[in-house]
Amino acid sequence: MPQIKKAVIVGASSGIGYEIAKILISKGWSVGIAARRSDKLDELKAIAPDRVKTEFIDVTTADAPANLQSLIDKLCGMDLFFLSSGIGFQNSDLKPDVELNTAITNVEGFIRMTTAAFNYFKVHNGGHLAIISSIAGTKGLGVAPAYSATKRFQNTYIDALEQLSNMQKLGIRFTDIRPGFVQTNLLNDNKHYPLLMLPEKVAQDIVKALEHNKRIAVIDWRYRLLVWGWKLIPRFIWKNLSIKTS
């Protein structure tokens, strides 16, 4: 009988993380789900009570790695770690609290969780470490400075962890998921967002990318084309562009 795969998803109470958890559960995985909200986690657990374990994790607090280990212990191991926690805001007024809170979650919390997962895989013969970043990390977006900067940080940090894993011959695989605009609570601000994607479809594409061990996955083809174009824009032109939503 084949061994059941085990995944831990941090940020599974809504949006993409929630939809990915549903897909993996339907595929027979044992899934450890974590978030700051417990109601949605209970909904997922009800799908397959014997294969779903839950844990409260706030990535911005110092006890998050210990809570992650608690969830791994409940699951009796971890093959895939998937980080879906993150925040982002348009902040043209450059309110310091918005910028700093974004950095606390997307940088401090990100480091806290990815290093915990990396170190677990280091002593357990490898695994798959996947994160959701964003196409916003491609260029600095004036409408969302901290968000785009923290997403670029995440891209670079995963690059560094991949190199470190290879230096130490750890056998850890990495996937950097870079969506565009997805219809989740993150965009629940009454603004119009172009090329808006449904989280259910995005989750399906992400699971396919994970199954094929893709290193970087930009979701979907329209955003792949957009990112390609962004990279070609010279700095002196980029700084004069007005990229915003309404």
Percent of the chain at pLDDT > 90 equals 65
Q: What is the pLDDT of residues 158-175, one digit of tens each?
A: 999 999 999 999 999 999
Contact 74, 32 (CB under 8 A): yes
Q: What percent of the chain has pLDDT over 70?
A: 92
Strand (E) or helix (H) holding 164: helix 145-167
What domains appear along the chain, each with residue ranges and CATH number? 6-238 (3.40.50.720)
Q: How confident is the model at residue 1 (pLDDT cuts 50, 70, 90)?
A: very low
Say whether pLDDT at 73 is over 90: yes
Report pLDDT digits (tens) over 214-230: 999 998 878 888 888 88
Q: What is the Cα–Cα distance from 196 to 238, expressed in whole angstroms? A: 23
**What pLDDT, on the 0 to 100 scale, is given for residue 210?**
96
Residue among 25, 9, 223, 3 nearest 130 (CA): 9
Q: Residue 90 above 90 pLDDT? A: no
User: 20: helix, coil or strand?
Assistant: helix
Cα separation, 211 vs 213, in Å, equals 6
Instruction: Give the distance, in angstroms, between the CA of residue 17 and the centroid of all CA atoms in the same chain.
Output: 8
Least confident of 48-52, 131-135, 137-141, 186-190: 186-190
Arithmetic mean of pLDDT, 186-211: 78
Q: For residue 187, what pLDDT is reported?
A: 52
User: Which of 62-66, 123-127, 239-243 is predicted with the least confidence, judged by mean pLDDT?
Assistant: 239-243
Least confident window among 10-19, 73-82, 227-236: 227-236
Q: Is the pLDDT of residue 241 over 90?
A: no
| Residue 177 pLDDT exceeds 50 | yes
The burial class, CB within 10 Å (0-12 / 13-18 / 19+), for 136 is: buried
State the Cα–Cα distance between residues 139 and 130, nearest whole angstrom. Answer: 22
Q: Is the pLDDT of residue 68 over 70?
A: yes
Confidence of residue 191 (pLDDT cuts 50, 70, 90): low
At residue 116 the predicted structure's pLDDT band, cuts being 50, 70 and 90, is very high
Q: Examine the pLDDT at 246 and tell me if it is beyond 50.
A: no
Quick one: pLDDT at residue 185?
60
How would you class 183 by CB atoms within 10 Å of its CB: exposed for 0-12, middle for 13-18, buried for 19 or more?
A: middle
Under a CB-based contact definition with an 8 Å cutoff, are residues 223 and 135 in contact?
yes
